[in-house]
Chain A
Amino acid sequence: MSSLIKHPKDFYAGLMYASVGAAAAWICRDYTMGSAVRMGPAYFPTLLAILLIMVGVASLIRSFFHRGEAIAAFAWKELGLVLGAIVLFGLLVRVAGLAIALILLVVISAWASQQFKLKTAVLLAVVTTAASILVFVKGLGLPFAILGTWFAR
């Protein structure tokens, strides 16, 4: 397969455009199309979806003729830790409260660095969390619970 695809970046980008376009066009079948005078909710997005499919197909075709570099390897560990830390923050911010959610966000995301040291990370987390609580909750009055519903009672 790889010998056929000469430009992997174009190939996968084209695949992405074409599939997003196809999915959008498919979903639009459930909406009213309307006419040019009275455009329904499906009119404009269907137009865009068709154009996007065309761009995707063009990119796919081009990838068989046009030589290009391979896609660089993904940094899975870094990606997973940073995104995981953010998602965990979202999950915890209400139930555990801002303080715990922020500390975990900093420590887990800092883990993604090659220079990670637990001690520095914890120190950074505590300082950042304290400063954020002071600035955002006390100073600007944003409605965050410092300790979440788990601790309420």
Chain B
Amino acid sequence: MDILANLSLGFSTAFGLANLFYCFIGVVLGTLIGVLPGLGPVATIAMLLPITFNFEPVTALIMLAGIFYGAQYGGSTTAILVNLPGEASSVITALDGYAMARNGQAGKALATAAIGSFIAGTIATFLIALFAPPLAEMAMQFGPAEYFSLLVMGLIVSIILAHGSLLHAIGMILLGLLLGIIGTDVNSGAERFTFGAPWLADGIGFVVLAMGMYGVGEIVNNLEKKETRDVMLKHVSGLRLSWAEFKQILPSILRGTGIGSFLGILPGGGAVLSSFAAYAVEKKLSKNPIPFGEGAIEGVAGPESANNAGAQTSFIPMLTLGIPSNPTMAIMIGAMMIHSIQPGPAVLTEQPALFWGLIVSMWIGNFFLIVLNLPLIGMWVKLITAPYHLMYPVILVFCAIGVISINNTEWDVFMMAAFGLIGYIFGKLECEPAPMLLGFILGPMMEEYLRRALLMSSGDATVFFTRPLSATMLAFAAIALVVVLLPSISKKREETFKE
């Protein structure tokens, strides 16, 4: 298979009229929720899932993916203009981006973010096209032992990369794994943890969990805080970079793209971590006379490129291995399953048009973002001032209708409320919901692979260490865990996340 043939198949799919249209809708919606604080991509995609029921699978995925990377983009707009990161991944952008805006360089900062994101998106698209097929081929050789070890490695890496306490990340993953087991056991047919309730027999829906924790829980969290949002900038001008400026930021963009592409593949990595890492690197390497934090243009270019690259490469493990590296990818898997596509190495060979169409659509989507958003900046600025007290009841309406329409049962609505409460309490205890969501998705897979691996080895647990690939992955996980537990490094880790 030739990469060019693949990409041309992708182009012909993505340039279908419906796909082009929904790609556009996706990125616009994504930018919108990115601009509006208090509504993230996970909750939005969960809300819109029911709408995509009647779509072609590839069209649905193209739109949902557009929401995801569009949100990264919108988040940086608010970060630069009002120092309010719409998404977690733009927290870093706010540091220097907002400083630039205060120095009267808002337009330059926005243009840097846009161009950086576009270049990063383009490179990441090619990286996916290059690396996904060999990775999928390798994954075809995986037995259950390899898959189990891969999941263990994934979960451990995501523990290491989680914010805050390691112990809580482990606890939340275990909690998620247990929650994922609720329902009928596929092998024995026994109902587990259902308390005889028929509405639990199929397990807890991922959308119910995600919408409760991210949608409802977030709303209550936001209501606690006072609404203060002043846009100081009514006009943004100078949305252009000179050639000299472009040459100045290009190395930062490329470095950011590299960092983001790599970290995006790792579980628990993705956009947030990528932007943090890229900022740290740029700060070290900078030759700019303007110090970081006071409007250094590299401090915008690096992280913005990184978060976009990371957002895009996080599709690699999802599409080739069927393993989500972050909650958004987990919900994309949910979307694929609704269209009865099992994510994994087979997608590439059985659904090449879907796979390549989705990838090319991301590049087109990035193009839409750069062409559309710079001229529309005035409209987004207006939206930032949208009053939250009128917005959140509407969000709740979407959540309620969305969650009930999936299985047509009101129990899902009650469960969503319950997870809203749980999510709120977890917020108070500083327990991150993201590891729990990963665990929830991976729980049933892990049990199944463990069962099969042990069945094939007649109960001999050493199988995980005697098969070379499996042993390598476990060794990597063990080393990574030991390294972060070393006192000197764990201290540094805490400092990194405190910024």
Which residues of the partner chain B approach A89 to less than 8 Å between Cβ atoms? 400, 413
**Are B185 and A109 in touch, CB under 8 angstroms?**
no
Which residues of the partner chain A approach B424 to less than 8 Å between Cβ atoms? 74, 79
Which residues of the partner chain B approach A41 to less than 8 Å between Cβ atoms? 185, 187-188, 190, 192
Looking at chain B's contact residues, the main secondary structure is helix
With A and B bound together, what is the CA distance between A71 and B188 in angstroms?
A: 43
With A and B bound together, what is the CA distance between A48 and B442 in angstroms?
A: 13
B455 touches A (CB below 8 Å): yes
**Are B396 and A109 in touch, CB under 8 angstroms?**
yes
Which residues of the partner chain B approach A35 to less than 8 Å between Cβ atoms? 459
B393 touches A (CB below 8 Å): yes
**Are B461 and A36 in touch, CB under 8 angstroms?**
yes
With A and B bound together, what is the CA distance between A52 and B420 in angstroms?
A: 22
Which residues of the partner chain A approach B400 to less than 8 Å between Cβ atoms? 86, 89-90, 93, 102, 105
**Are A45 and B178 in touch, CB under 8 angstroms?**
yes
**Are A55 and B167 in touch, CB under 8 angstroms?**
yes
Which residues of the partner chain A approach B237 to less than 8 Å between Cβ atoms? none
Which residues of the partner chain A approach B262 to less than 8 Å between Cβ atoms? none
With A and B bound together, what is the CA distance between A16 and B426 in angstroms?
A: 10
Which residues of the partner chain A approach B165 to less than 8 Å between Cβ atoms? 10
With A and B bound together, what is the CA distance between A32 and B188 in angstroms?
A: 9
Closest to A129 in B: B397
**Are A87 and B175 in touch, CB under 8 angstroms?**
no
Closest to A44 in B: B447
Closest to B221 in A: A75
With A and B bound together, what is the CA distance between A10 and B188 in angstroms?
A: 37
B174 touches A (CB below 8 Å): yes
With A and B bound together, what is the CA distance between A70 and B223 in angstroms?
A: 20
A5 touches B (CB below 8 Å): no
Closest to B186 in A: A41
Looking at chain A's contact residues, the main secondary structure is helix
Closest to A45 in B: B181
Which residues of the partner chain A approach B429 to less than 8 Å between Cβ atoms? 9, 12-13, 16, 71
Complex interface bits, A31-52 against B, C-beta within 8 A gives 1, otherwise 0: 1100111111101110011011
A83 touches B (CB below 8 Å): yes
A65 touches B (CB below 8 Å): no
With A and B bound together, what is the CA distance between A97 and B38 in angstroms?
A: 29
With A and B bound together, what is the CA distance between A48 and B180 in angstroms?
A: 11
With A and B bound together, what is the CA distance between A71 and B411 in angstroms?
A: 31
Complex interface bits, A89-132 against B, C-beta within 8 A gives 1, otherwise 0: 11101100000001001110110111110001100110011001
B245 touches A (CB below 8 Å): no
From A78, A87, A116, contact of B414 by CB (8 A): A87
**Are B393 and A37 in touch, CB under 8 angstroms?**
no
Interface-forming stretch among B246-254, B384-392, B470-478? B384-392
B141 touches A (CB below 8 Å): no
From A94, A110, A136, contact of B410 by CB (8 A): A94
**Are A44 and B181 in touch, CB under 8 angstroms?**
yes
Which residues of the partner chain B approach A78 to less than 8 Å between Cβ atoms? 220, 223-224
Which residues 388-407 of B sit at the A interface, judged by CB distance below 8 A? 388-390, 392-394, 396-397, 399-401, 404-405
B70 nearest CB across to chain A (Å) = 21
B151 touches A (CB below 8 Å): no
Which residues of the partner chain B approach A36 to less than 8 Å between Cβ atoms? 454, 459-461
From A24, A39, A109, A143, contact of B408 by CB (8 A): A143
Complex interface bits, A137-153 against B, C-beta within 8 A gives 1, otherwise 0: 00010111000000000
With A and B bound together, what is the CA distance between A110 and B223 in angstroms?
A: 10
With A and B bound together, what is the CA distance between A35 and B450 in angstroms?
A: 12
Closest to B168 in A: A13
Q: Evaluate whether A105 and B168 lie within 8 angstroms (CB atoms) in the complex, with A37-B458, A48-B178 already known.
A: no
With A and B bound together, what is the CA distance between A74 and B460 in angstroms?
A: 50
Which residues of the partner chain B approach A20 to less than 8 Å between Cβ atoms? 175, 178
With A and B bound together, what is the CA distance between A17 and B170 in angstroms?
A: 10
Given A59-B171, A79-B220, A112-B220, 10 other A-B contacts at CB below 8 A?
Answer: A9-B430, A10-B167, A24-B178, A32-B188, A36-B461, A44-B451, A89-B413, A90-B411, A90-B413, A106-B393
Binding site for A on B (CB under 8 A): 50-51, 54, 165, 167-168, 170-171, 174-175, 177-178, 181, 185, 187-188, 190, 192-193, 216, 219-220, 223-224, 226-227, 387-390, 392-394, 396-397, 399-401, 404-405, 408, 410-411, 413-414, 416-417, 420-421, 424, 428-431, 446-447, 450-451, 454-455, 458-461
24 contacts between A and B (CB under 8 A): A24-B193, A32-B188, A36-B454, A39-B451, A48-B174, A52-B171, A58-B167, A79-B220, A83-B216, A86-B413, A90-B400, A93-B404, A94-B410, A105-B393, A107-B393, A110-B392, A113-B388, A114-B226, A115-B389, A121-B393, A124-B393, A132-B401, A136-B405, A142-B401
